[in-house]
Structure 1
């Protein structure tokens, strides 16, 4: 074998017996894991390439198992939407404990995908991905970046999202420190806004189907196969959710090209807004909170914390007013101003 990327014996055990590794090299960019590309000759003489990822420790175990389960679940529903997963496990020759995930490698172009085809495929995944017990959640913990999701099963979407958001808030506070203004606004969002804005989705005879979502669907996790031209999703942190949750990350300032209205419009042609439809944009703002808090937790000092607080003020003023809270400032809302603000330390 040539190359400077390690291939643990445990990895070889999930490949077809008799596979010969020809080349293993670092490949891709990841802030939380070590990634590489492995070129092999299969027992029948056919060359093949794989994408291999390692992560260490208890948290690494959650990340690897969560991604393997996410990709496997999506693959079972829409097989050509993700790279075929091969296996995962614990490495045999490393300390601390290290875990691996391996999937088939796909040559991809990473420019903006076609809005019509991309949104149709995402909606197809969400429609076909059916919760095994009819509830919101996932059988294992998954991650968005390095931040874990609370995936405990819940029949109420409002309750599930409250727990998901609170978990993300706690992780953010551990990393960035407490911010009293944010804590106060968050409590009002969880106790006042969410019951009103999301509780209505399952009230008055309305039902809400838990949909399989990718869970981290920003531009960096999407490509187009150079061989087939098909959209390819990867690096998933899935759970069964309100399908509109998937779009919260598209509203983020760092969401890349998915911020463009053409992606929202084409998605909604495939999957109409839940009722009340006129509250779709406010739900999208509410769902953005989780993704921006994840970003703040992954990149300490990020200005996204200020955006989160401003979004909370907007939502509280509209759905659960509280005089003691600060006031929403539209000049700090990039979805209003269109301003691009670099990720700089906030001033709390």
Structure 2
């Protein structure tokens, strides 16, 4: 018996169902299962999730991939379709990405011009189509955490109102009352406004950022027939229009990216000014992701987040009222 799911996917991808095979792929997550859809030489990758939250997540990923692919087509799989599947399920279909290992190995890339550092630098050098505003057309998810990307006119207001305060609320929702954590976040807000408002052009301009670019969300991969040879690619984005350095927060966690990567990247995207405050701004971006991990997983991420905030408070409390 042909599953209704298969009919929906074949129609969405413009395939003849009689010549289409759909099979599960090992992996996936608690949020979504993975499928391979093949018809002749055509092959697609599908994520399928259940419930309203999966619709938000996969629609956000579709729009994120579309934004990245439009700017730098060779950096990610092209999104093909997304929509309702069956019984409240939702799907996202993209080009099929064949993985070939870590993108840090230049030997696996077809040329030096195709390194991840230079491709990401190209993405981070193109102004976002947002008239200078910070945000994104849809909600995205970092992990399973929804991110309200309603537009703000300044980077500091976007970071505080659309990232820092909502993730504090998510921490409380997941872990119960957090008076100590809330006190630290409230005291870090004026410091965040101070630091982020001082970031100067062109580094302050919004560009398309990946949003969740830890080392596990990149690899060498091919996307036949469009990209037949292995090249650095990224996936699982939760994009928004923000300064390029916002991506550096998650990129400097969990082992991060090596020194050679950063040296090459910074030939295209130099550190923002004031350069002496760069590490502290990136500390704020790491704070968001650390709090997100506390909201998702609990544990020692709370103490790590408080440690980041205490360090910034010690350094800036004499310069910023209310901290």
C-alpha change, 1:99 and 1:206, in structure 2 (3 Å) is closer
Does 1:221 pair with 2:217? yes
- What secondary structure does 1:228 align onto? strand
| Superposition deviation, residue 264 in structure 1 | 2.8
Query: Deviations along 1:71-102, whole A, 9 cap, x unmatched?
Result: 111111111111111100011x32xx111000
Q: Which residue of 2 aligns with 1:271?
A: 269
Q: Which residue of 2 aligns with 1:70?
A: 64
In structure 2, how many angstroms separate the alpha carbons of the residues matched to 1:78 and 1:302? 38
C-alpha change, 1:111 and 1:6, in structure 2 (3 Å) is farther
Q: Which residue of 1 aligns with 2:35?
A: 36
Query: Deviations along 1:197-229, whole A, 9 cap, x unmatched?
Result: 111125xx8872101001110112111125412
In structure 1, how many angstroms separate the alpha carbons of the residues matched to 2:160 and 2:7? 42
In structure 2, how many angstroms separate the alpha carbons of the residues matched to 1:155 and 1:313? 28
| Superposition deviation, residue 165 in structure 1 | 1.2
C-alpha change, 1:201 and 1:129, in structure 2 (3 Å) is closer
| Superposition deviation, residue 122 in structure 1 | 0.8
8 A Cα contact 1:143 1:237, kept in partner: yes
Question: After the TM superposition, which residues 241-260 of structure 1 pair with which residues of structure 2 at under 5 Å, given as runs?
Answer: 241-252=242-253, 254=254, 256-258=255-257, 260=258
Question: Equivalent of 1:298, from 281, 296, 306?
Answer: 296
- What secondary structure does 2:39 align onto? strand
Does 1:311 pair with 2:311? no
Question: Equivalent of 2:281, from 276, 280, 283?
Answer: 283
Q: Which has the higher contact order (CA 8 A, sep 6+)?
A: 2
TM, length-normalised to structure 1: 0.82
CA RMSD of aligned residues (A): 2.4
In structure 2, how many angstroms separate the alpha carbons of the residues matched to 1:100 and 1:84? 15
In structure 2, how many angstroms separate the alpha carbons of the residues matched to 1:305 and 1:219? 22
Q: Which residue of 2 aligns with 1:154?
A: 152
- What secondary structure does 1:127 align onto? coil
Q: Which runs of 5+ in 1 are unaligned?
A: 42-46, 326-348
